[in-house]
Each structure stands twice: as C-alpha cells, then as structure tokens.
C-alpha cells in the first residue's frame, strides 16, 4: 500500500494554526508582569504626554521677541525644575531659569540654552538669538488622552511597557499564557546528571523546545520522560489533560517503528490525527492532532529535527493561542550565499548556517558542510537556517536566499 504524499511545510503550518481559531481567555495583569504578553484589548491613553509645555534643554525660558537682537540682557525672576514649576508669568524683559523636562512658565515661548548665555547676579545676557518655540515640547507632543496607542494582539516588549506606563495604565488585559506540556519518550533517555546506562543518552531536546515555547509566551509543564511502553505514555497524556494543557508536545517516538508507540498511545487516548509526515528536512515525521481542547504536536526524536520543528510550528502555535494576528507571518529574511549549494530534492530543506558578514545590505551566510540531524554542536554554532524550497535548482555563491534566524 502506497503512503499519502508528504504534506508541504506551509500547508502543515496552516493546519497547526487552524487548531487555534481564537485566542485563549484574557486576564488582567499588573504592568510589571506583562513582558512578552499579548494585549487582549486596544489601549487608549489616560492622560496627555507631556501634560504641559516642557523644556527640552537646560537654559532660560524667555520671550522670543526679547532676544531677537543680541546681546540682550534679561532679569531672572525665578526657576522652573522638573516636578517644581515656576507659578508666575514671564513678562517683557524677564527670564526664568529652567531645566530639562520642567514646565515652561506662562508668558514664555522659547528656551534660550545656557551655552548661549552669560550670567551676572540676577541678570542673564543672551549671546545668540533663538527662533520662536525653540526647545519647547508642546503639550501632547507625544500623545493626547484618548489616543489608542497599543492594539489588541500586540506583544508587549520593553518599549510597549514603557508606553503603557506613560499612558498611566497600572495593569493591562492580556491573553492567558498558553499551557504547553512537554513529554520526552524513549527507554534510551535519562535526564542530565542522572546515571547513564551503556545504551542510553542524555535527553536534550526538552530544554531547547521549552526555551522556544517560553520565549513565545507559554507556561511550560515538564512531564519528564516516558519509557517505551503504553502505560507510561498514556499516563503522561492523561496528566497533560489534567493540567489543562493547551498543547501537548511529545519528543520522539512519532514514527512507526516497533518501539515508536506515541502515535498509537495518543490514538488510544482519543486523538483525532490531523497529519503525520511532512515534506521537510530535518523533521519529516512531524505529527499534529487534537484530543478535545488539547492540541498535539509530535516532534521527531533527533535533536536538530525537534528543535527546528519547534521553531517552525510550536512558536507560531503559541503566538496564535496568545492572540497574535501575525503568528503565521513569514519570519524569514533575505540573505546572500557565500558558497554554492546543490539542487534540492522533494523536501523543503533547512540548512544550518553561520553569518560571516554583510553583502549588499544583507547577511552573508555560509552553510555548514555537515547537516546531520543529530548534531547539536553545529546547531549551536549556527545563527540561522537557510531555507531551500523543494526542487530548488543549484545555487551559486553571490545569489540570494531566504534565512530564518535561530
């Protein structure tokens, strides 16, 4: 019996994202805890910034007409500092000492910077003229109360957090973090630091996949390692459901060898299989399905395959569940090849590569000679993956390509 053709990568991604048709529920979170979270609602400013005309420089608040001809000597009648304004009015022939960020007093319309002055007692002499309004930040220069500055679906990174604070929001409504359960499988695996048998290896995939999921905004539950027996795997699947996991990620055992039990165990627990086996290298035996409200991603056991599939499929799924409308956007960028590449076969290829410079404003990339999917050392030395379409023709050095940062 012939197998169904391998599913193209983009089709697989669209099916994975389709399993997250709407974002998860929202919750209100203190602003200090919102880093990396996704806004559940549009956010409008609760105040105007700056709330008053403010000085952009240290100097003197003056009337521009008073320094149209220089030198011009003015009487200093007071001081305006940040948080402590001068409450009087600047009249003809007068000036107020002012500091950066301080309110510009009534009557003044220009800042005479201190480098262009000479002081003596209670007088200041302007040595240079200034144009009307120079160095005055008008009220509302940044934004006004009621302006919608942050949009639903926007991810809150450092600049957005600062903006929300300036808008006077102490807390924000954000999408609940997706709960991702990780399950490594295989009798050959032990945790780092544990006693290692003669036929065993250290489980490493969990750490990279967990990091990708957490960076994307997930709360991660580590279910540990299940041996190659149905009882252990099925118990872990039930634990993932009991935790209320939105996504269960299995690592290894997704193929159909005699010791690859994961797909059968998931089926026995009620999984509706979406797809299995995709046209990519590394990562061909990727599996996707669903048990009730819990999505399933079965990643390959080879380290590089698992990590690349986590980057390509788990990260967008977490972002989609978080409400990011751009979760499925192309994350590749244009680059220039430093060396030639042979023609590609029927699977989309992801070649580990290093960035060795710049050419024509784009990264100059060089593929590693060895691309074995078990070699973590090479992946750790790579800064990107060269993406080669299925059946791509041979490429020459100097030609462009697409790369995905890792």
DSSP letters spanning 281-301: ES-TT-EEEEETTEEEEEE-S
SS3 30: strand
- Asked if residue 282 has a cis previous peptide bond (ω within 30° of 0), the answer is yes
Helix runs in 167-268, H state only = 205-216, 230-242, 262-268
What is the enclosing helix (H) or strand (E) of 395?
A: none
pLDDT digits (tens, 9 = 90+) for 85-128: 999 999 999 999 999 999 999 999 999 999 999 999 999 999 99
Same fold, 9-25+176-321 and 26-49+142-175: no
Q: Sign of torsion, CA 5 10 13 17?
A: negative
**What distance in Å separates the CA atoms of residue 156 and residue 324, rounded to the nearest whole number?**
11
**Mean pLDDT, the chain, as a whole number?**
95
Confidence of residue 260 (pLDDT cuts 50, 70, 90): confident
Q: For the domain bounded by 26-49+142-175, which CATH number is listed?
A: 3.90.105.10
What is the enclosing helix (H) or strand (E) of 307?
A: helix 303-309
Superfamily of domain 54-137: Molybdopterin biosynthesis moea protein, domain 3. (2.170.190.11)
- Cα radius of gyration (the chain): 30
Q: For the domain bounded by 333-405, which CATH number is listed?
A: 2.40.340.10
* Residues sharing a CB contact under 8 Å with residue 354, sequence separation 6 or more, in sequence order: 365, 366, 368, 381, 382, 383, 384
Which residue ranges make up each domain of the chain? 9-25+176-321, 26-49+142-175, 54-137, 333-405
Confidence of residue 303 (pLDDT cuts 50, 70, 90): very high
**What distance in Å separates the CA atoms of residue 287 and residue 223, rounded to the nearest whole number?**
19
Q: For the domain bounded by 9-25+176-321, which CATH number is listed?
A: 3.40.980.10
Q: In this prediction, what percent of the chain has a pLDDT beyond 70?
A: 98
Q: In this prediction, what percent of the chain has a pLDDT beyond 90?
A: 96
Side-chain half-sphere exposure of 203, counting CA atoms within 13 A: 26
- Predicted TM-score (pTM) of this structure: 0.89
* More reliable by pLDDT, 254 or 234: 234
Confidence of residue 253 (pLDDT cuts 50, 70, 90): confident
Phi and psi at residue 95, to the nearest 5°? -145, 155
**What distance in Å separates the CA atoms of residue 95 and residue 187, rounded to the nearest whole number?**
81
* Residues sharing a CB contact under 8 Å with residue 57, sequence separation 6 or more, in sequence order: 100, 111, 113, 114, 135
């Amino acid at each position: 019996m012939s197998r169904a053709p391998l599913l193209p990568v983009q089709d697989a991604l669209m099916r994975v994202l389709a399993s997250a048709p709407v974002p998860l529920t929202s919750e209100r979170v203190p602003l200090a805890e919102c880093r990396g979270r996704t806004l559940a609602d549009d956010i409008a400013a609760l105040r105007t910034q700056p709330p008053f005309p403010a000085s952009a420089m240290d100097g003197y608040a003056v009337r521009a007409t008073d320094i149209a001809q220089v030198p011009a000597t003015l009487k200093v009648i007071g001081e305006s500092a940040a948080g402590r304004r001068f409450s009087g009015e600047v009249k003809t022939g007068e000036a107020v000492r002012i500091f950066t960020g301080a309110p510009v007093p009534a009557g003044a319309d220009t800042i005479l910077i201190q480098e262009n002055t000479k002081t003596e007692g209670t007088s200041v002499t302007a040595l240079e003229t200034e144009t009307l309004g120079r160095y005055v930040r008008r009220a509302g220069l940044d934004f006004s109360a009621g302006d919608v500055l942050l949009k639903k679906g926007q991810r809150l990174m450092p600049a957005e957090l600062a903006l929300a604070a300036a808008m006077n929001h102490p807390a924000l409504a954000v999408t609940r973090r997706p709960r991702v359960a990780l399950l490594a499988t295989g009798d050959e695996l032990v945790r780092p630091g544990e006693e290692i048998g003669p036929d065993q290896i250290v489980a490493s995939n969990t750490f990279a996949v967990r990091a990708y999921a957490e960076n994307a905004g997930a709360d991660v539950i580590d279910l540990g390692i299940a041996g190659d027996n149905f009882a252990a795997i099925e118990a872990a699947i039930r634990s993932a459901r009991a935790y209320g996991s939105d996504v269960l990620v299995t690592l290894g055992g997704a193929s159909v060898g005699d010791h690859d039990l994961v797909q059968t165990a998931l089926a026995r627990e009620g999984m509706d299989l979406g797809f299995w086996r995709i046209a990519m290298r590394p990562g061909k035996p990727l599996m996707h399905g669903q048990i009730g409200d819990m999505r399933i991603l079965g990643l390959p056991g080879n380290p590089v395959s698992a990590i690349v599939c986590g980057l390509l499929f788990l990260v967008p799924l977490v972002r989609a569940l978080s409400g990011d409308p751009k979760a499925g956007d192309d994350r590749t960028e244009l680059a220039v090849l430093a060396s030639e590449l042979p023609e590609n076969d029927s699977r989309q290829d992801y070649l580990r590569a290093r960035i060795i410079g710049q050419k024509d404003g784009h990264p100059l990339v060089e593929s590693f000679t060895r691309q074995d999917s078990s070699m973590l050392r090479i992946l750790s030395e790579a800064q990107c993956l060269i993406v080669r379409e299925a059946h791509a023709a041979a490429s020459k050095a100097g030609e462009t390509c697409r790369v995905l940062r890792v």
